[in-house]
């Protein structure tokens, strides 16, 4: 019997290895999975089942388009009266990647800490007349979570229809530990709720790999929010960190329709409810002229839209490239692009947190420092609390704000959402904030890395082996 089970396990390992190799994925990710499965087969097979399988990506994309749920004309790029823009070719590349057009009738506001963002969002929610759509990765049962819950309940009692879409893994606390937290809201007839790819057995399912990391709020189809902040006290007051630095974007205008489109696609994916009705895309009420292009990334996209946008921004940089990221686990293409940009003479500056929130990911991120420094990239460690913002600024051409980290999971697995900003005012504001943050950071040098004990360098390199998996 023991011999038979061993032979069965051997056949299973060989079969899975053949499938992994046949997928033609990134060689680094393929090698990492093969190592784990061959040397620790039982654990490796389980991890691959939960985290490694990517069979849903093309199937989900084709299923959404086959369902014909999109409004008429949503797949065509609308005509633009801004044909002389320097960024036009970049905008067209992004459109071909994700079918989201650049829009130029918007008002924008950027928030770099949680308190002013939360206050403004609650003000907008209290002014809602028709509907409020919310989509978050994390919603905690704390003071901040209660403030939002109570504001939404008040609007539901006034007749506003509210739809809430949450990731069950990210919201595991209210899913399993504080089940009654949202109950006063969810029992109201004007509130619709769904988990995104829910876990039927707590924490364990094949779809655990495809998490919805998007942060979207759309109010009456006119005002929308996106960025890196979830709902919880730590995003407002810092939690276990002294402060929390992040980035959130408020939009009034055409780009709110783009975020509405992404939300409704996600809502359809979770509930199969078709809400593509003109009532959710009202005429824009703004005189703003800011340029915004929404970029969704994930299994519902044909291409790796956000990864391609980041790659193009790095390659387009001529003078300066500013990057703020809490995690740094780039694939080979992005790593090569960053090093090549620095070697071309571009002033590449990378701002990274000095204190980790996920230690193993931090070790893996640190393993990339030395080769980036050798190429001429300048790396700074932010020391004033935790740095959670995901920002990239390419000269005065384009800037990016959103939910996507500079790592494998954000770029190739999770459902993510970024906003590309084309207006000089927004780009300047993000650039100014970057240099303000540098006042609270220290520069990393090659000398200090070379003076690290061997075991720290080995620890970081070991963590890097699992880069495609974390």
Q: Is the Cβ–Cβ distance between 464 and 430 less than 8 Å?
A: no
Catalytic choice (215, 257, 339, 349)? 215
Catalytic residue flag (residue 188): no
Nearby residues of 116 by Cβ (< 8 Å), 6 or more positions away: none
Catalytic residue flag (residue 57): no
Catalytic residue flag (residue 266): no
Exposed, middle or buried: residue 84 (CB in 10 Å: 0-12, 13-18, 19+)? exposed
Nearby residues of 254 by Cβ (< 8 Å), 6 or more positions away: 103, 104, 105, 106, 284, 292
Nearby residues of 89 by Cβ (< 8 Å), 6 or more positions away: none
Catalytic residue flag (residue 167): no
Q: Is the Cβ–Cβ distance between 392 and 400 less than 8 Å?
A: yes
Which two three-digit tokens encode residue 329?
A: 């686990």
Partners of residue 401 on adjacent β-strands: 391, 419
> Per residue in 106-141, is it b (16+ CB within 10 Å) or e — as a string?
bbbbbbbbbeebbebbeebbeebeebbbbbbbbbbb
Residue whose C-alpha is closest to residue 162's, from 220, 109, 112: 220
Which two three-digit tokens encode residue 229?
A: 């902040």
What's the sign of the alpha-carbon dihedral 27, 30, 36, 38?
negative
Catalytic choice (142, 300, 395, 437)? 395
Question: How many Cβ atoms from other residues are within 10 Å of residue 233's Cβ?
Answer: 17
Catalytic residue flag (residue 395): yes
d(CA 316, CA 143): 43
Catalytic residue flag (residue 131): no
Coil/strand/helix, residue 384:
coil
Question: How many Cβ atoms from other residues are within 10 Å of residue 215's Cβ?
Answer: 23
Q: Pairing relation of β-strands 378-382 and 441-443?
A: antiparallel
Partners of residue 231 on adjacent β-strands: 139
Catalytic choice (131, 339, 349, 388)? 388
Strand ranges across the sheet with 106-111: 106-111, 248-253, 223-227, 216-219, 131-136, 161-167, 191-196
Rounded to the nearest angstrom, the gap between the alpha carbon of residue 262 and the centroid of all alpha carbons in its chain is 13
Catalytic choice (167, 220, 266, 300)? 220
Catalytic choice (57, 133, 213, 257)? 213
Catalytic choice (300, 390, 426, 437)? 390
- Catalytic residue positions, numbered: 213, 215, 220, 388, 390, 395
């Amino acid at each position: 019997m023991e011999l038979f089970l061993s032979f069965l396990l051997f056949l299973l390992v060989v079969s899975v290895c053949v499938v992994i190799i046949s997928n033609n994925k990134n060689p680094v990710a393929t090698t990492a999975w093969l190592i784990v499965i061959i040397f620790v087969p039982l654990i490796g097979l389980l991890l691959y089942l939960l985290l490694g399988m990517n069979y849903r990506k093309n199937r989900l994309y084709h299923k959404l388009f086959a369902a014909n749920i999109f409004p008429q004309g949503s797949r065509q790029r609308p005509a633009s009266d801004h044909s002389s823009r320097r960024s036009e070719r970049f905008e067209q590349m992004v459109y071909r990647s994700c079918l989201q057009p650049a829009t130029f009738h918007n008002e924008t506001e950027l928030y770099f800490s949680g308190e002013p963002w939360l206050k403004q969002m609650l003000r907008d929610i209290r002014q809602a007349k028709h509907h409020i759509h919310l989509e978050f990765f994390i919603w905690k049962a704390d003071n901040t979570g209660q403030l939002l819950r109570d504001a939404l309940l008040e609007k539901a009692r006034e007749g506003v229809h509210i739809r809430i879409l949450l990731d069950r893994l990210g919201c595991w606390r209210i899913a399993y530990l504080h089940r009654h937290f949202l109950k006063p809201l969810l029992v109201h007839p004007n509130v619709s709720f769904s988990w995104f790819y829910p876990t039927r057995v707590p924490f364990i399912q094949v779809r655990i790999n495809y998490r919805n990391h998007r942060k979207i709020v759309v109010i009456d189809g006119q005002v929308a929010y996106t960025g890196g902040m979830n709902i919880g006290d730590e995003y407002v007051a810092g939690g276990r960190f002294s402060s929390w630095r992040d980035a959130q974007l408020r939009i009034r205008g055409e780009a709110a329709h783009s975020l509405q489109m992404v939300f409704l696609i996600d809502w359809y994916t979770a509930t199969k409810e078709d809400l593509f009705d003109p009532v959710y895309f009202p005429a824009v009420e703004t005189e703003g002229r800011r340029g915004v292009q929404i970029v969704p990334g994930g299994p519902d996209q044909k291409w790796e839209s956000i990864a391609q946008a980041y790659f193009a921004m790095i390659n387009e940089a001529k003078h300066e490239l500013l990057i703020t990221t809490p995690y740094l686990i780039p694939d080979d293409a992005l790593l090569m692009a960053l090093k090549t940009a620095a070697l071309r003479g571009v002033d590449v500056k990378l701002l990274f947190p000095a204190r980790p929130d996920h230690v193993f990911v931090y070790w893996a991120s640190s393993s990339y420092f030395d080769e980036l420094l050798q190429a001429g990239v300048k790396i700074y460690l932010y020391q004033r609390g935790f740095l959670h913002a995901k920002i990239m600024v390419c000269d005065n051409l384009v800037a990016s704000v959103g939910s996507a980290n500079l790592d494998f999971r954000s770029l190739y697995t999770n459902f993510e959402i970024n906003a590309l900003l084309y207006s000089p005012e927004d780009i300047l504001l993000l650039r100014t904030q970057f240099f303000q943050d540098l006042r609270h950071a220290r520069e990393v040098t090659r000398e200090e890395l070379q003076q690290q004990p061997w075991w720290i360098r080995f620890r970081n390199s070991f963590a890097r082996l699992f880069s495609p998996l974390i």
